A and B are shown apart, each in its own frame.
Chain A
Amino acid sequence: MRLPRRAPWAHIGELEQICSWIYADEEDLEAKTLATNRLSAWKAVTALPHALESTLAILAAHLLDVTSQNTQHAALAARQAYAAAIIRMVNGLVDPLQVGAYARSIASIATQLGLPPWLVELRHAATHEDLPSLELLREAARESLSWLLHNYFHPTLNSSALAPTAPPLRPVVPLLKSYKLLMKIVTRDTSLHKHHQDEIAAIMRDVERWIAEAKVSADLAVEILGWRSDENSAIGQADVKEKWALEILCDALLEKGAIVPLSKKKRCAPAEPFLPTKASLALWTPLLMQLQMNHITFPSVFTGRIISILLEDPAESDVGANVIDLDSGSLQRDATYDEYLARWATWVVRTWVDESDDETDLRKNLILQIAPALAPGKNEPPQKTKTLTVLLQAATSGFMDLADTIELLNSATVSIPVQQWQTHDLARMDERLQTLMTYDIEMAEPCMGGSMPSEKGSMKSQASLAPGWTLLDVHSNWKSCPIGVYYSKACDV
């Protein structure tokens, strides 16, 4: 579950206000004081985004400079304040991009960021050489503020304005193609295996390299990264990046012509076992096994992508305007393609479950993802329903409790002919609801003592309360609302 992050503002309008206080009129010190006060308050609420912290430092230095010009030693204090603000701004912007094990030069990262090179120079001078002159520092502060306006405030306030440009990631499809070619040769004539061994290993390594590259480019494409709430974000973000990279890779794998044979004839496989053809397995198992070995999340990403393709509605994707130029075949659901993907999903669930503790998770996730589409009342195309049903059965066979649930889901999908409403129908529905609910609850919450009526635990009667304290209750008209919202009748208006 991706957690949201704490923002200092209740809504983005508050940031907009600060932005206009700072930038509307460069000479308006009063407005700048307002902005500084607000930012200082925000800083006491939660950790500020680095850009805002830098803004605060530069503004504070500026205010110090302007208001203390005629006092003694004011210049040195102002220079120190400016210098510290700029050093910290550059460092803070550059540091997150030091993603490798070894340090990159700050200048090269700054170029990537579009940070004026002379600010980097100034940072170096202010840190290691003579403290730069007041004139230069004032100019640097002005330049920094304008850089922040264009690179932080504008993109944040108009979220679609200009997304940071991520360097293009090289496509992974050619890699997969050459892998497939090689493996075809090898599987047809095993004697050639030794001959091509090194090449295959090289391609596998290249796939891993591609994943590493994709992770880096995920880092630059800031917008795909959510914050994990806390300092452990480093770990969390690594996971997110890896997942992102694996998703792209899986999508390439799932394209027709990769793990699903291009020709429909080759997709024919016996109904039982519900698995891909032997030829497919021979081709792709080595690569998939390696991916699973190196990336613990691969199985779940892989099945996740398969299911989302299976659940995708062609009608829905039509909405996107740029679909038209795709080949017309993709608009129509391709039943054999879907079925083949389902076979791969079954293979994953059967192959990788026993090796990890997350065994049931993979299965359960699969069920949880599919179940809503099969829920009674959903009018999915029969072809799709069929594929999903078969997948569910194949994936859960052998697991009694899971199989029972599936059974129930399936029976519900069989459309019952319109009939007279009778009382025992209700009882039957009740029974079904019960079964489904008990199952649901078992997965969602602890089976015992998970909750209890709030009255039991609520605080004591008002009589014993301290002066000024009143415990609100049902009669107070208070309604639940997010933390940070003061709900009162007065606010309600």
Chain B
Amino acid sequence: MVNADFDSCASSAEESVVSVSSAQKPAPSSISVTKRDRAWSPSRPVADSSDEDTPGPPRVDDPPDSINPFVPSIPTKIQHVTLSTFHPVPERNVYHIPSSKYTANENAIILVLHPGDSVAFIGAYTLCVLKGSLSLLGVTLSPSDQKHRVFAPRSSPLPVLSWVAAIHPGSCTYTIPSTIRHQENSTAVLIQYLDTGIEGLGRICRVFENAFKPPRDPSAFNSVDLPGISLVTHSTKEIHPFTLLHSWETALASIAGTQDSDSGTPPICLVKGPKKSGKSTLARTLVNRLLERYSRVAFLECDLGQSEFTPGGMVALSIVESYIFGPPFTHPSLPYRAHYIGSTTPRASPSHYLTSIQALLETYKFDLQTPILVDDALPGDERIQDSVPLVVNTMGWTKGLGADLNKRIEEFVEPSHVFEIDGPEDKGWPTPLQSQHLPQHPTFLPFAQAKARTLLKIEPIPSEYTNTHQSAIDHRNLNILSYFHAIFPELPPSSTSSPSLLRQITASRWDTSLPLCARYPYEVDYTKAFESVFLTGPGYEDVVSYELTRVLNGAVVGLVSCDPNGTTGPPPSSKGSQLAYTPSQPPPDPAFSTCHGLALIRGIPFSSNPPSPHMHILTPVPPVLLTSTRVLVKGEFELPIWGMLDFREGEEGGVAGIERGLVPYLQWGKGEGVGSEKRRVRRNLMRKGQM
């Protein structure tokens, strides 16, 4: 256990436990708070909208009758919940703004929302609050010039824009045209279609086809005369609204305002819980909440399978500057620092996984927690700049070794707030001892922590809310494909090593005009570009040198740059036309390396004596960062089958003009012979005794 005590003189361990579940929400007796009561007070009415906003500016006293749009709107049944109480009437509450001063030449509409109004759209759009306040996905927006990007495909819970009482005057330089009638307490929002090309991903990964199109049931949507966006009136079998459970709301409220009294160290939040309990949704909402007060939030991803900002397969430390309004595939980002594990689970390399996370935490503490450079405050931005809170998302593997790993991570992180999602008992999530003993014996602390720690236990997302049309694997595949089709903004030439300057670098567009097989690749002379290749995965130790190119052909690899000072001994460098590779070599030390992203080696000649030392590579990583990429790491991570297909050839076609039977590495239809399938594991088989 790591007990770094140097920056904290708190010798007595403090732990407050807030245990909330919706069944018991009004009973204050079920909430036990020891020693320090943070933010959440049972006497405060939870249904007050002030619970969910920023504590930074002095709060305008809310009218006592202001309604919180969340609490009443929690649906008890998922079928046909009304999403939009707002009924668009042109020139009354919807105003069409043709190519205006707000924007270059796109069409835009202004919605005027009155108290109690809510509205939900499907599609990709930007939204800019001109007047009043608006809440969506658990965030309250005040007027500003910021155009927030919102991605609302129907494959994820739909963001509902709800009117809330203005809590902050804000400052928006856009003026509302005089033709628009609005009342004192109404909210005006500018909505524009956001053209990024993201809709094209549905053609590539057909599971998500039409994800941005209106629902099939024509009665469920309403046109707002803005191409690409449709207003959804009520939920259907496949379209659910985003709902913030009551216990989540309460838990999230506890981080607001906590740190004001503290010594300036920003909160470090850790989210844990079993699979499908809503961990990543909570982590995302948490980041958004923190962004209401801080201009930057750091995000440490420990979930290799369902990563928020990276395509997966790596632990990554990312910087977030703008609200995340969309599922992971809509915001692939370049990590500040990352380490490639090469798999969707740390099962095969637990110690490398832990070392990598430890290295990232070091980076956070040294570079990010209290950043040196503070120069870019926008006028009017009152958010905290000189400290950066951290949100840690853990993996959903919470049994056996997974539980051990998560425990170690929690020890490394030393979180100030732990958000623990309770899983059903049978999922094997062990009930921590603390939560059971602390309420009864507040003085007895069996697991003393050096720092104050708030444990917030919350309930999991009910299974009705989770999408059943696409599996976790479908979402992961889409993440990877979204990454490979993404276009990242240009980086300044100086940012050679870390994609730095503490910026969030998120894909701005997607090029889906061509399938991967038809995109012009980089031709890379690997004797010049790379120093060495590492293979990491179970059994990969047995790959001999002369088979290396065979392994790399068609492989997804991590692009890693190593600090030359850090490597022990001189790195093997490529000689002649060979790639430098030593079997059974451990992957680069996380302390001295970082992974910039992934690349697909789309072709490499096999022969041991190739005519030229070249390979063809596809990668969205900006060219500036490729200079420092000197090492390739190949793990178990593979390109999804969708990425190998050619959507231009239709359902029955082949790939890139080659007919089905002749496409290399792909096999359609039958697998003959016994044992021609890969192993399937069944864990739910019952024995005779259980009959």
Contact = CB atoms under 8 A, between A and B. Distances in A.
A472 interface: yes
A103 B686 contact: yes
A471 B522 contact: yes
A113 interface: yes
A222 B672 contact: yes
B216 A50 contact: no
Interface in B212-229: 212-213, 215-217, 227-228
B528 A483 contact: no
A146 to B, nearest CB: 13
Interface in B611-661: 611-612, 614-616, 622-624, 626-629, 634, 638-646, 651, 655-658, 660
Contact of B553 (A3, A164, A470, A484): A484
Given A359-B216, A486-B615, A222 B676 contact: yes
A274 B691 CA distance: 51
Contacts of B640: 229-230
Given A486-B603, A486-B616, A7 B669 contact: no
Given A457-B509, A473-B520, A230 B667 contact: no
B547 A49 contact: no
B551 A450 contact: no
Interface stretch (B198-206, B429-437, B445-453): B198-206
Given A451-B200, A459-B623, A460-B490, A472 B675 contact: no
Given A5-B667, A5-B671, A44-B537, A483 B521 contact: no
B379 interface: no
Contacts of A9: 665
A480 B513 contact: no
Contacts of B642: 3, 229
Contacts of A52: 675
B471 interface: yes
Interface string A5-40: 111111100000000000000000000000011101
A469 B626 contact: yes
Contacts of A464: 493, 623-624
B547 A6 contact: no
Contacts of A54: 675
Nearest to B521: A472
Nearest to B228: A448
A427 interface: no
A226 B677 contact: no
Contacts of B634: 44
B511 A48 contact: no
A154 B673 contact: yes
Contact of B196 (A46, A449, A471, A487): A449
Contacts of A41: 543-544, 547-548, 550-551
A60 B544 CA distance: 14
Given A40-B542, A98-B685, A226-B669, A483 B600 contact: yes
A445 interface: yes
Nearest to B685: A103
- Name the residue in A41, A53, A359, A488 with the highest tally of chain B Cβ atoms < 10 Å from its Cβ: A41
Interface in B584-613: 600, 602-605, 611-612
Interface stretch (A88-96, A129-137, A202-210, A245-253): A88-96
Contact of A481 (B474, B643, B656, B672): B656
A332 to B, nearest CB: 30
B669 A483 contact: no
B77 interface: no
B66 to A, nearest CB: 37
Contacts of B628: 466
Interface stretch (A155-163, A168-176, A339-347): A155-163
A301 interface: no
B372 interface: no
B380 interface: no
A321 to B, nearest CB: 23
Contacts of A7: 665-667
A46 B424 CA distance: 34
A360 to B, nearest CB: 6
Contacts of B44: none
Nearest to B627: A466
Contacts of A444: 203
Interface in A439-467: 444-454, 456-460, 464-467
Interface in B499-525: 509-514, 516-525
A487 B603 contact: yes
A483 B616 CA distance: 10
A3 to B, nearest CB: 5
A484 B554 contact: yes
- Name the residue in B548, B604, B655 with the highest tally of chain A Cβ atoms < 10 Å from its Cβ: B655
B541 to A, nearest CB: 9
Interface residues of A, number: 108
A159 to B, nearest CB: 5
Given A450-B199, A451-B197, A469-B524, A484 B664 contact: yes
A151 interface: yes
A4 interface: yes
Interface in A264-283: none
B386 interface: no
A478 B521 contact: yes
A484 B528 CA distance: 22
Contacts of A483: 516-517, 554, 600, 602-603, 639, 643-644, 655, 665
B232 to A, nearest CB: 13
A3 B669 CA distance: 8
Contacts of B490: 460
B522 A472 contact: yes
Contact of A4 (B203, B216, B548, B667): B667
A113 B665 contact: no
- Name the residue in A43, A359, A452 with the highest tally of chain B Cβ atoms < 10 Å from its Cβ: A452
A101 interface: yes
B529 interface: yes
A446 B202 contact: yes
A222 B671 contact: yes
Nearest to A39: B542
- Name the residue in A6, A52, A484, A491 with the highest tally of chain B Cβ atoms < 10 Å from its Cβ: A484
Interface in A160-195: 163-164
A93 B673 CA distance: 11
A2 interface: yes
A478 B622 CA distance: 22
Interface string A412-447: 000000000000000000000000000000001111
B674 A51 contact: yes
A49 B676 contact: yes
A194 to B, nearest CB: 36
B89 interface: no
A450 B238 contact: no
Contact of A1 (B512, B546, B651): B651
A22 B348 CA distance: 30
B228 A447 contact: yes
B2 interface: no
14 contacts: A37-B547, A50-B677, A101-B684, A156-B672, A223-B670, A226-B668, A451-B200, A452-B509, A466-B623, A466-B627, A467-B529, A470-B524, A482-B663, A488-B614
- Top 7 A-B pairs, shortest CB-CB distance: A51-B675, A468-B528, A468-B529, A446-B199, A457-B511, A486-B603, A480-B518
Interface of A: 1-11, 36-38, 40-54, 60, 92-93, 95-96, 98, 101-103, 113, 148, 151-156, 159, 163-164, 222-227, 229-235, 357-361, 444-454, 456-460, 464-474, 476, 478-488, 490-491
Interface of B: 193, 195-200, 202-203, 206, 210, 212-213, 215-217, 227-228, 236-238, 471, 473-474, 477, 487, 490, 493, 509-514, 516-530, 535, 537, 539-540, 542-544, 546-548, 550-551, 553-555, 600, 602-605, 611-612, 614-616, 622-624, 626-629, 634, 638-646, 651, 655-658, 660, 662-682, 684-688, 690-691
Given A95-B681, A102-B688, A222-B673, 18 more contacts: A1-B651, A3-B642, A4-B641, A4-B666, A7-B666, A38-B550, A49-B678, A53-B679, A101-B686, A102-B690, A103-B686, A103-B687, A164-B672, A458-B520, A472-B523, A483-B517, A484-B665, A490-B612
